[in-house]
Amino acid sequence: MEPSNAGLPVVHVGRQAIYDRSGDVVAYELLFRDAAAATQASRRSADATSRVIVAAFTDFGLDELVGNRACFINITREFLIGELPIPFGPDQTVLEIIETVDVDEAVVAGVEELVSRGFTIALDDYTPGAHDRLLPLATYVKIDVLGTGADAAGIARRCLADNPGVQLIAERLETEEQLHQAMDLGFHLFQGHVLGRPHVVSMVGLSPARLSRLRLVNALAAAEVDFDQVVSFITGDPALTYRLLQATNAAASGLKARVSSVREAAVLLGLPTIRQWVTLMLVGDLAEGSEGQLVKTMTRARMCQTVAQRVGLSGDAAFSVGLLSGVAEVIGHSPAELAQHLPLAEDISAALADGAGRLGHVLAVVRDYENGEAAGLADLLDPGDAVKTYLSAMTWCNEVLGATGEAGRPSTSPAPA
């Protein structure tokens, strides 16, 4: 599914394969890209490295980017000496020390510490010099065949003589001739345009704030809501706390005393109303002013809730299924991908991932109804109730949107036949 560009941040990561002597892909190097059409990194900095790390481990997930293969990530000085944290474990990742890092005592000590923690080290664009101090700590050494030319042979022989256990990677291979020469020189692994250019992978980012709000919606839909957990989720989101207190104070304007805390707001309004507010704020944030997407998502969630209650299912769970399926469409994920980010109940996850179970059936017939196919919904409701349910959901959506000011009051479009 292509990512939507409706004002949402799109995350880009370049991915270039590394091959063995048999021509099989054994690893991928992940590269910073600031646009889908970018052919090279606009910068190699701590900021670029941080963006690649966040994208690889949170937005995409390593399984999506590299499968079970090794993952090479460029690392700058700040990460090596501990000024910036490396927030992942040593499994599957290779820390590639870029050639611009000045090697001093702090860097050597930092790399020794990383190796002691189990991390695998690669030296990027190696030439003899200051980086020699890191050779005993490295598992991989990358040599720029295009940049070093005839010197590549001598550099490779020296590395193997002094460090027989090291794996040599020939990089920037542009021609078949260079590839064959690298094989003859004893290189173990190969990377370059002759084998495959970097491929940019793009998707809409799920920021920590968005993920937190999605988890909050899920917590509010649980059969037994953990009140303290809900309050904790809300208070951990400053923007959401501020907006919720504003909304609650407005709703409580007829009272002598206004609320001053999230806990008081939750007690005053009750969890069902809190859920509606939080849900609306979440979808409004994700839609970034796209009124049509906001209305469609909220109406779908309400319809799923109403239909589920009519057939004896949890309305709250169905509301979450409808909501999250709409959110997935807004941000360009599949419902299954979105479900992977959330600790969802089994029936909700199955409904989103595979359309399975009774909740999955409710979602399917509601979505069919949106597309003008009314037969499935008519099988679950009494004759004539389908249109009433749709219009009721639209009316509820209009009322809630009008009350919150999240969007202009949408006009009610004709119900599907």
State the span(s) of the chain assigned CATH 3.20.20.450. 10-204
The pLDDT averaged over each successive group of 10 residues in the chain (417 residues) is: 46 85 92 50 57 66 81 90 82 91 94 95 91 94 83 85 89 92 92 85 58 71 77 69 62 52 72 69 55 76 89 84 81 76 76 90 91 82 78 77 46 44
Asked if 409 and 401 count as a contact pair (C-beta separation under 8 A), the reply is yes
3-state secondary structure of 137: helix
The predicted structure's pLDDT at residue 35: 38
pTM beyond 0.75: the answer is no
User: What is the reported pLDDT for 211?
Assistant: 64
pLDDT at 66: 85
Cα 249–chain centre separation = 34
- How confident is the model at residue 407, as a pLDDT? 43
What is the CATH code for 10-204?
A: 3.20.20.450
Tell which CATH architecture fits domain 208-404. Orthogonal Bundle (1.10)
CA distances from 57 to 22, 154, 197, 206, 229 (A): 29, 38, 23, 11, 25
pLDDT of residue 413: 43
Q: Where in the chain is the domain with CATH 1.10.3210.10?
A: 208-404
Assigned token pair, 194 = 């002759």
Q: 140 pairs with which residues across the strands?
A: 122, 167
Neighbours of 322 (CB within 10 A): 29
Read off the tokens for 409.
């009051």
Tokens of 229: 């957990």
The pLDDT of residue 269 is: 72
Long-range contacts of 361-366 (CB under 8 A, 24+ apart): 362/304, 362/307, 362/308, 362/311, 362/313, 362/318, 362/321, 363/304, 363/318, 363/321, 363/322, 363/325, 365/307, 366/300, 366/303, 366/304, 366/307, 366/322
> Residue 4: its pLDDT value, please?
43
Q: Tell me the torsion sign for CA atoms 404, 407, 413, 417.
A: negative
Is residue 185 a contact partner of residue 194, using CB atoms and an 8 Å limit? no
